[in-house]
Structure 1
Amino acid sequence: MTHPVLPLHPGKHALPAIPDPADHARHVRSRAPGATLADHDGAVLVYQDRVLAHAVANYGGRRTDWVRGNLRLLERRGRRLAVCGGFGLGAPAAALVLEQLIALGIRRVVTVGTAASLHASLAPGSLVVCTRALRDDGLSHHYLPPAPYAEPSPELTRHLTGALAARGADTRQGSGWTTSAIYRETAPEVARYGALGALTADMEAAGVFAVAEHRGIDAAAVLAIADSLADRRPRRDHPRTETTLHTAVEAALAALTTAARE
């Protein structure tokens, strides 16, 4: 038997889909006429409940049920932005909510999550701006033609890097490895992808980049190191990781505003 590759149907990325995220937007507007995110500079996706709670406590925002999860619409320095969390982990969960946000008008997104380090030099709490993501997930192949990497928006990534630098964050830039199987990461993979220059292992970046490229919007990603696959530091709640995640959210909001002004 020939070993299957993803997607099982060749050329799927170029075919129209039966479900349309616009249907979701129409459903939302049947309950909330005038619901739109087209007047917002962008959205930040977060994955940890405490990070979302911190954002709500610091930036406020009105909660809506327009998308899956907890979507907060806020004003920051006279600009409209959104923060969304509580929708789960992994590329499928992130893609679902991102499709819904795009259908409602979002044109820029920054994903702020955690990752495992592939290099012992990256300590817990270090921030990595992802410049491209190895597509070892199960989702990106349904959105883009076959290729090793999914790419973020260069412009939004530049704004994100600048916003982090302005806040004095300990930040590196580099590629990452996105996988859908966090309990099946192996030593040969860590060695191989680390040798290729990948700094991190995460579950969402490649999927977010793929959806964004497919839909023609801008996306960027920043990841806080929570544990290590290089010298196997088991995951724990390191206070520096949570602190840098808060900094990353603040920088992401600033980057979205700066990008929208260009």
Structure 2
Amino acid sequence: MRLKVKENITLWRNEGLIAYVALGFLCTFFMEVNALLPYYLQQSIFFETLMSYMAFNTLFSLALSEIFFAMLVVICHNTKLEKITNSILQELHKRIMQGSFIISFLCFGIFLFCVMAFCIGSLTINNNYYGKHVINFACPFVLFLSFPYLIHKGITILCTLLKAFPKHKIHAAIIILLIIAAAIIIPSIFNKKEKMTITIDKEKYHAIEQKTKIKPEKYIEKKINDININDIK
């Protein structure tokens, strides 16, 4: 067990993944410092940096693709096609591991900062702000660290069960159709709203926040939602 852990740590170090722990820690630290600055000096660069590495949609697409090609292996008996499909599966699994581990280690870096801030804060003030975030980021750290294993294990079990059926090709084909349907339907469920970006003067942004006591984004969104389309000429 200890040897396996050492092997994983060496692998993560060689892949440069340990650096993402430092990135998560430092970005969170600078985000907290940034929040203490006057509004005209505040920047969202550190938050945007973290989010740019957390490719959740990409992971979802890769996981669906891996299941799709695994079912293709179950269906086809052509040696050449099976060989190509297996190589694609290996590459997909590698990409899922990279994406998952990046998110996981970023969350671990944020987790470490929250632990440090909670311990320091507990000595001076009695609040559990960072204590809640310790739990919030410990869970995704564990989840995304185990995500590639769970996907691979799930596919292995699914393929084994399918091959036990006399008409396993039909079942695999049905799963492929379900994957295609999921790839079309799921994004449409979560994509009912159109995202828009607007540029606003920082002074005006701060003034709206001070007067309304809510984030200007929410205030503007409410104003847009209150618009009667029939009144627009």
- Provide TM-score, normalisation by structure 1: 0.23
Give the structure with higher Rg (CA): 2
Q: Judging by fraction of residues, say which structure has more helix.
A: 2
Q: Which has the higher contact order (CA 8 A, sep 6+)?
A: 1
